[in-house]
Structure 1
Amino acid sequence: MEKAAQQRINELHVSLNQYNYEYYVLDKPSVPDAEYDRLMQELQQLEGEYPEFITNDSPSLRVGGNILDAFRKVEHRTPMLSLGNAFNEDDLRDFDRRAKQAVGGEISYVCELKIDGLAVSLRYENGLFIQGATRGDGTIGEDITENLKTVRSIPLRIKQPISLEVRGEAFMPRKSFESLNKAKLENEEEPFANPRNAAAGSLRQLDPKIAAKRNLDIYLYSIADLGDTGVVSHSEGLDLLDDLGFKTNPERQRCATIDDVIKYVEIWTEKRPNLAYEIDGIVIKVDSLADQEALGFTAKSPRWAIAYKFPAEEVMTKLLDIELSVGRTGVITPTAILQPVRVAGTTVQRASLHNEDLIREKDLKIGDTVVVKKAGDIIPEVVNVIVDLRTGAEIEFSMPTHCPECESELVRLEEEVALRCINPACPAQIREGLIHFVSRNAMNIDGLGERVIAQLFKEELVANVADLYKLEKDQLLQLERMGEKSVDNLLKAIEQSKQNSLEKLLFGLGIRHVGAKAAKTLAQNFEIIDNLQNASFEDLISIHEIGDKMAESVVAFFDQPEVETLINELQQSGVNMAYKGPKLMDTTDIDSVFAGKTIVLTGKLEQLNRNDAKSEIEALGGKVTGSVSKSTDLLIAGEAAGSKLTKAQELNIEIWDEQRLIQELKK
């Protein structure tokens, strides 16, 4: 009986997965919905009786699994970088000119619709879907595998038993969005502002059954590591995704010239409202992978791709007031308080005015009729004033001379536009510093949002970040909307944060000029906080990525007696003060031609996998980077090496071919 049940379960898997692919990917169903539902019901009944035969690619998983406690963090093997933006034809032609100049010849492109959703990464091992993650900060995302299994256009098993990682955009179709918001309004719940927020909110539900009901979809747009697939162009990579059973956007187009790209942009600017889903632009990618390699990357984005953003929708509204806020570094930021108005799918009531000079430049007065848009369809921005609509009742705005929070006199530091409160005891700065400390890229304490921090500060339960580790259950239960379960989860999150690696703490402390990347560099090089506290300016600038301004800021920060007291309090509370990540390699004892050298790989390698070559070089003490500079010691040039080879020749950098690299790796 068990053998027959297992055989029938396997047959149902094959049939249901095929019908699912036909319906959700090809949009060509071969059986009625009733037949699909009948087979699914049979499968669920059999799996209920024989749970030992449930597999990770079972179609029954589409309905959602058990409720999760929290999302696990996932480090992306290949970073999910953001794209540079183009806003007009001139920007696109500049992109084309730079690309041609870098590769020394003509370039063809692939244009794809830029879906307004949530970027995700999917990992498959031996053809089986094993993990899905959000983009996060590009390096670390959240594991949302169980929720992604409910997206029926994502195959749980692909058509070849290969291992790969693919990237795509999960989204909510317009019909699903309208149905969801209709149901929310009927239940007297707050509707979602737009399909992007709805998709992101659905995939970050701890209960996968909720995600399963939201009818999400996905388009895959790239393979993270092409490895040994033999693919030589982006368009071939998309075709391979089709062959493997993934859903890609059929509206993509290969364009031989930038003129063809511009024509594609013009067509879809007009056709955009007719789509069944939201798009906010066009993604343009260099098609040839050899050309992509030659173009390389900046610190944040690839040089071989750009996102054309559709012109922002502009609307008129009233400037009701200008409100001032104090940031964690003391900068005073004016914010426009607007008569609520719908812009690009959401209601806008506030827009940053950045600084006093911008207010003067735009000649803004309280009571003005102003034009508002969303920069990049995201950030509200006051474009200009409609001077002709002034009545004479408008009020001139002047920046204050004293801090709106602590009444300290404001100063304008040399070479700065912004006014700044320099009182270290300013309540607003302390409050904003606490919010920064608990944020995702810093100590990542779930449950400590702005509302809770504001309450803690108001009730005088915290005066600095060290006080967060002294909070007790009884104190937290007194706060508004904090039940026992919420408090227990919050205390657990605070306790877990004590185990963070040093770079998280350094970033959280808010040292001026030290971002997340610099914090990691400092943590790697100094390993424990005591070493960093005792570091001199000379020690700091000896590190390749640390400049004079940052070094001065770090020394000044740790010279403050109150900082020493704060670090001691954190240590006493059990907060980790050591770096836990991969350590910098000591190359002094490594007998290798690569030891201590900075090396760049460029062009296509015929015999070696690029990632394997990088790993072997690093194991022998070399440092592999992505760009050629005066500090580069060696360039490995494969087939079709482009601008990096030219630059290396100009700088008289030693150049090897792949055969020489193989010989040295074998020694």
Structure 2
Amino acid sequence: MDRWTRAPRNPPMRPLGRMYGITWTRRGVPRVPWVRAGGLGGGTDGVSQTWDGWLERRREEYYLEGRSKVSDDAYDAVEQKRREAKDPNTWMERVGATPPEDGKDGNRKRVSHWPPMLSLTAVRTHGELMEWKGRLASIDPRTDQEWMVEPKVDGVALRLLYNQGKLMEAATRGDGTTGEDVTKSVRKRMQVPWQLRNNGAQKEQARAVDVRGEAFLTKEDFVTINEKRAQRKQPPFAHARNAISGALRRLDDDVELQTTQADEEGKMHKADEDFVDENGQPLLRFSAYALYLDGSHGAPTQAEMLHALHELGFYVSPGMVCCTSFEEAIEAAKEWMARRESIAFDVDGVVIKLNDLEAAGKLGNTTTAPRASVAWKFAARETVTTLLDVCFTVGRTGRVVPNAVLEPVELAGACIKHATLHNFKKLEDLDARVGDQVVVKRAGDVIPQVVQVLHELRTGEEIVVTAPNSCPSCGEKLVRLDGEELHRCINNQCTAQQQRRLEHFVDSCVDGVGKGVIQDLLREGLVKDVADLYTLEAQQLEMLPGYGPRSVGLILRALEESKKPELSIFLTALGIRYIGGQVSRLLASRFSTVEALQAASVAELSTVHGVGHVTAESLREWFQSSANQALLEKLLSVGFLPCRIAKEDTVDEQRQHFSFQGLSVVLTGTLQSFTRDQAKKLIELRGGVTRLAVSRETDLVVAGKNPGMKLENAKRFNLRVLSEEEFLKLVQDRQ
């Protein structure tokens, strides 16, 4: 790997991080036949017109206003649903959004692009990628040649125009053929060459040099910008792209950089201080990916073009790979995707394109994209589907939760049919109605949840959802406890709660008895609480449909073997609020018997490291309940006895479980022993907090393979850095 160096420029560049070597090849010089982007057509019915209008408005927000009401994933999902509508012939693809007329409402002047700034065909899965390759091969079978794989920087597309080597014009992409002039903003707030580097490139500097690329922010700089805004009590930018658009489209560019403005408290500050570092250097950066000289490609191949851009003084994104086959390009793309979290700036996928630009030009373009390039985007974390119904379920602690019944949709490799709506207030805030188009997200890639309702896509036929006032199971009036957004059924004999408690108990404590067995036992009235499980007889079970002597024997054996669980497992199985597996283990280590826990005061329970006052009160309240005391006596009478723990933990031993207590931890690079989410969970279970970017407030950085810029920042701030082996040793449970 090589580190590229940059010549000084005006304004000077700050180092971005490690650059990766590129394999360069050479091919013939192309001249690409371009097709102008088309406009968006209206639908033939009201529904299509509503969706077309929604998509048009989102494009205006995204490309012209620098903001977005929905995520990229949600927009893509709506666009795909519209594409698959019954009247697809009315749908016309387009690039971006057309800028307003010059000077209208204080807008910037419009500038034309030639060649047009097209978009890219996007795919999400390996299957979609191979379908795209198949379509390409049907046009020209001779496409099995060299391919370039590049990161798809998630920023704002720009065109920079140089004449005689000097920056003369900068413009946004707009609708592909017409963009907005942002020259003054770029000069003030972006790290780009004002004068092209002279490395024997006199011929290039004497011509019109057109450079295409992406404006971006590093993750660390984006955090810094929002921290500055928070200090002035200004709202944060939701996404780095919003911050970039805001910086580019400011309308005060005729005012000097020292101009001040007042925040909400009347305190004056420099107008541009959000977008400069402590030395006054711009935070916005520019990654170049295309070069045109007098309207023609500036090199025969994509690889040589990127090299030429670097020689002219432009930053080129790290990690470009030239591959000799499409299969090799796929593997390179997968390696890039695996490094997503360790990259210093936002990327939303990889771009695979033919290296030979002449061959690419002969393939031509669709209305919106060149045929020889494709964006393989990361798997969507959000999608859009129809809300079919809302049902209300009761948990083991009496919590009543609204759950969405969805039109089945694929998301992150799973078929999603249900999603949580969290609580009644969330349902009210979302204003979710049956028939709505809703945005669904997989929280932590595990629990699907409805995060947004697309109200503008309503047809008027949606049905309002009314939250119940009584328990859906037992009919008891629901209550809302102080300090909670949750509604609960406080009837301890509620059938739904009994079922959930029994299911949780056997799931935690009994190996071999499933939820189906519990449902059958409850339906036949054979059990009411967990102690009743241990009074069951073979004759009772064999009377149930589908229960033969063999299955009954297995159930009774599993119950018998579960009578002496570890105390920590028993505490977890009881389903007491706030008492999970980690807290149960800490309590069992200090108080070695159930009797000792029953006798402990709130103050004594709170002395256990990792057990807070609220948790201690919840445990004390459970043991003081007469119904729960009767349950424990009933369990004892049937021979149920949790195992005693021989000794108590010392304070130091307890702290081993909370080895990250109060620490701010940043993960960087690829970990070999577990995924990023698994490492994050380990840290949080031990009292730590994980952060996205390194700052002076960071306590610890865990560095895996290919750590990237975060490791450099950690060294710059003189922070403690752990290798993966050191991290494993720190989180390892005591034997």
Provide the TM-score with structure 1 as the length reference.
0.43
Of structures 1 and 2, the larger Rg is shown by: 2
Higher relative contact order (CA 8 A, sep 6+): 2
